[in-house]
């Protein structure tokens, strides 16, 4: 589902994001990416969704070589990947329904389809009862579930989540992880970037550990190393 071959990404001023990273993630996998702050986890996620471009190496997502993806093809790629990023929260002036609908609207889906799909998506994350509320009328954990519902809007084969539990207490975090597991069970490949030792150890899934832009460990049913 995701393949990186000798990928290097250097930011301005020689800031190393990733250096000579090779990783293969098979369809249906649930992979955690861990590492200290600044180790390149977000860079990894951004490369996969073509938010950043690699300086060297090759990146293949869903059988599509996106190393030199054309600018106008990026929307097509994004509609195949669900994205949960720290800095892409809900729009405060839209209801939960509208927030999820937004992802379908901007991709040109018909109003009729949106009306039927959005409640289904909110049902997956257990919030179909609250779809007329605004983001500030629900808890942080619930907000994050809506973000996940939005990421699922295009029924992606791949879900990339960068610290989805970042600001949540452990109970809420557990719920989010359970949700991601459920999504994974339905066949979506999940790439989870996290700091949370507890979660990683509980998951008992594949763990890729980054350090200073290098892969220093890749365990099948791993534990949080650092």
Partner 1 sequence: MTTLWRMIKFGYQNFWRNIWLSLVTVLIVMLNLFLMSVVMGVNVVGQQTLIAVKQKVNLSVFFLPTISEQRVGEIGKELALKPEVASVKVTTRAENLQRLKNDPRYGSLVKSAVAELGENPLGASLEIKAKTLDGYATIAGYLRDKKYADFIDPRNGIVADNLQANNLLATIVHRIELAAAWLIVFFGLIALLMIFNTIRVNIYTQREEIGIMKLVGASDAFVRGPFVVTSIMYGLLASVLTTILLVPLLTFANPYFNQFFAGYSVDVLGYFQGHLLIILGLEVAVGCGLAMLSSLLAIGRYLRV
Which of Mg ion, ligand ATP, partner 1, none does residue 85 bind to, with CB < 5 to 8 Å depending on kind?
A: partner 1
Among 105, 128, 211, 218, binds partner 1 (CB under 8 A): 105
CB of 119 to ligand ATP, least distance (A): 34
If one asks whether residue 7 binds ligand ATP (CB under 6 A), the answer comes out as no
For residues 17 to 36, the per-residue mask of contacts with partner 1, x marking binding by CB under 8 A and - elsewhere, is --------------------
CB of 8 to ligand ATP, least distance (A): 12
Size of the site for partner 1 (CB under 8 A): 27
CB of 122 to Mg ion, least distance (A): 28
The whole-angstrom separation of Cα 28 and Cα 33 is 16
Residue 99: burial class (beta carbons within 10 Å; 0-12, 13-18, 19+): buried
- Nearer CB in complex with ligand ATP: 79/195: 195
CB of 48 to partner 1, least distance (A): 12
The whole-angstrom separation of Cα 145 and Cα 115 is 19
Among 12, 111, 116, 129, binds ligand ATP (CB under 6 A): 12
Listed in sequence order, the residues at least 6 apart from 82 whose beta carbon sits closer than 8 Å to its beta carbon are: 148, 151, 152, 153, 154, 156, 158, 159, 160, 188
CB of 99 to ligand ATP, least distance (A): 24
Partnered with residue 24 across adjacent β-strands are 3
Q: 54 and 47 in contact (C-beta within 8 Å)?
A: yes
The whole-angstrom separation of Cα 183 and Cα 159 is 9
Q: Is the alpha carbon torsion for 217, 218, 221, 226 positive or negative?
A: positive
Listed in sequence order, the residues at least 6 apart from 119 whose beta carbon sits closer than 8 Å to its beta carbon are: 97, 128, 131
CB of 26 to ligand ATP, least distance (A): 23
If one asks whether residue 43 binds Mg ion (CB under 5 A), the answer comes out as no
Q: 47 and 74 in contact (C-beta within 8 Å)?
A: no
Q: What does the block give as tokens for 137? A: 């009328």
If one asks whether residue 159 binds partner 1 (CB under 8 A), the answer comes out as no
Residues 18 to 77 in contact with ligand ATP, rule: CB under 6 A: 35, 37-43
Contact residues toward partner 1 (CB under 8 A) are 49, 71-72, 75-79, 83, 85, 87-89, 91, 102-103, 105-111, 150-151, 153-154
Contact residues toward Mg ion (CB under 5 A) are 42
Contact residues toward ligand ATP (CB under 6 A) are 11-12, 15, 17, 35, 37-43
């Amino acid at each position: 589902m995701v393949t990186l071959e000798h990928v290097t990404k250097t930011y301005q001023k020689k800031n190393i994001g990733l250096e000579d990273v090779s990783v293969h993630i098979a369809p249906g996998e649930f992979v955690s990416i861990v590492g200290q702050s600044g180790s390149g986890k977000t860079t990894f996620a951004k490369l996969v969704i073509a938010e950043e471009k690699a300086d060297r190496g090759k990146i293949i997502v869903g059988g599509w070589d996106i190393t030199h993806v054309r600018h106008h093809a990026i929307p097509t790629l994004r509609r195949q990947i669900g994205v949960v990023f720290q800095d892409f929260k809900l729009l405060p002036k839209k209801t939960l329904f509208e927030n999820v609908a937004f992802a379908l609207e901007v991709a040109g889906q018909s109003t009729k389809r949106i009306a039927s799909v959005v409640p289904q998506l909110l049902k997956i994350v257990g919030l179909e009862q609250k779809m007329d509320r605004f983001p500030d009328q629900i808890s942080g954990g619930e907000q994050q579930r809506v973000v996940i519902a939005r990421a699922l809007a295009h029924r992606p084969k791949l879900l990339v989540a960068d610290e989805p539990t970042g600001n949540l207490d452990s109970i809420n975090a557990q719920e989010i992880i359970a949700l991601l597991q459920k999504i994974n069970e339905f066949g979506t490949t999940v790439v989870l970037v996290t700091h949370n030792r507890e979660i990683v150890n509980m998951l008992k899934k594949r763990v890729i550990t980054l350090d200073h832009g290098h892969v220093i460990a890749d365990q099948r049913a791993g534990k949080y190393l650092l």
